[in-house]
Amino acid sequence: MSDITWDVYESPIGPLTMIGGDAGLRGLWFPGKTPVPAESARRPMPAVTAQLEAYFGGELRAFELELDMRGTPFDREVWRCLLDIPYGETESYGELAARLDPAVFHSDVEPWQRARAVGAANGRNPVSILVPCHRVIGADGSLTGYGGGLHRKQALLELEGSGRPDPSWSTRQTSLL
């Protein structure tokens, strides 16, 4: 059994529960999305906190943290592809599905169903923000599906769209909660 540690990072878009294991960060969750481990396992996570601070400050575009993400081989392949979406850019679920090797899909998934399969795997991403599932949008450019709520997805895309937030960004985002 691995040693689990956790802490909460108070971000401009609300508290984020960070869960770490022996091999790296296992989860970065919005409120109510995962059970919190025992209080005795709570420990500061300075490397994660520092990079989140830099990201929300507009100073970090790519995270450099060890991740220990648990999922099916298909999920892990989708999550790997999410990391290829550049900061400040978006991609549709269909575009992401088209980048995947067709062999990674279950044999019963028809080509026209692949975007939905990608969306489902995207929704199982345990490390939001760091593995940028917020950069995936609908084919028509609309914001669809985000575990933290569409208001948070919009806030993250706004942060990345400008490259560096204006000083009132943090206050505006917190007021949305």
Residue-wise pLDDT tens digits, 52-102: 999 999 999 999 999 999 999 999 999 999 999 999 999 999 999 999 999
The whole-number pLDDT of residue 1 equals: 43
How far CA 167 is from CA of 57, 117, 156, 164, 171, in Å, comes to 9, 39, 15, 9, 8
CA pair distance 41, 63, nearest whole angstrom? 24
29-52 residue pLDDT tens: 998 888 888 999 999 999 999 999
81 tagged catalytic? no
Residues 54, 45 contacting (CB under 8 angstroms) = no
Domains plus CATH for the chain?
5-56 (no CATH), 73-162 (1.10.10.10)
Task: From the candidates 133, 137, 155, 159, give the one annotated as an active-site residue.
Answer: 133
Sign of the Cα pseudo-torsion (64, 122, 149, 85, in order): positive
pTM: 0.87
The whole-number pLDDT of residue 130 equals: 96
